[in-house]
Amino acid sequence: MTITLTVFDRSPDGGRGLARDTRVRWALEEVGQPYEVRPVTFEDMKQPDHLDRNPFGQIPTYEEDGLVLFESGSILLHIAGKAPGLLPEDPQARARAITWVFAAVNTVEPPILELQNAKLIEGDKPWAGDRLPMVLDRIRKRLRELSVHLEDADWLDGPFSAGDLMMVSVLQRLKPSGLLDEYPNLAAYVARGEARPAYQRAFADQYAFNNR
């Protein structure tokens, strides 16, 4: 069984690990599953071959024995469901870990993505200066809430899980903004995730790939 991920041929971040293949690589490393990558350019992503894998023309996609998946959250849950290490056995703890994956992509990630849009896409619009503080407020609200929940725990709900993997991946996008440092327990939480050997391997592989 060969697993193949599509990844940026050259990630625009030059290998800082911010593209969404990193979270999938990390999950595969956590469960000890080898994989191959298929690089695609921005042009390739919009061609029929890739649109068959992901109708939205994005990376990452995941192929395994004729199964083709897109959406990093769905891919993560598929990987986590097949091997021990990312989801607890206890049904209630498992359901809570899955809840945290959704919280990461559905509740915390959207305002963070808005910040990228506000800076990179809308930065030159006449109203950009008025909008930015509102976007920052929405992010701070989520960070405050998450910080209160985490308190001084290592992970969101007991042992490290897929929920932490996704939440750390989502929060990493904020590092350049400095916002994360306003919440020291969240900054430490992200650092804890990044210190995991599986993350280190995933990061090193995507870095080497993007700098080949």
Enumerate binding residues for ligand GTB (CB under 6 A): 11-13, 18-20, 42, 45, 57-59, 71-73
For residues 23 and 39, what is the distance between their CA atoms, to the nearest angstrom?
Answer: 16
Residue number with CB closer to ligand GTB (8 or 147): 8
Structure tokens at 179: 């916002």
CB of 35 to ligand GTB, least distance (A): 16
Residue number with CB closer to ligand GTB (101 or 147): 101
For residues 160 and 163, what is the distance between their CA atoms, to the nearest angstrom?
Answer: 8
Residue number with CB closer to ligand GTB (45 or 87): 45
CB of 165 to ligand GTB, least distance (A): 13
Residue number with CB closer to ligand GTB (39 or 57): 57
H helices present in the chain, as ranges: 21-30, 42-45, 48-53, 72-82, 91-102, 109-116, 128-150, 162-172, 184-195, 197-210
Contact 142, 148 (CB under 8 A): no
- Reported residue count of the chain is 212
| Count of CA atoms in the C-beta half-sphere (13 A) of 134 | 7
CB of 6 to ligand GTB, least distance (A): 9
Contact 192, 126 (CB under 8 A): no
CB of 30 to ligand GTB, least distance (A): 18
CB of 28 to ligand GTB, least distance (A): 15
Residue number with CB closer to ligand GTB (45 or 86): 45
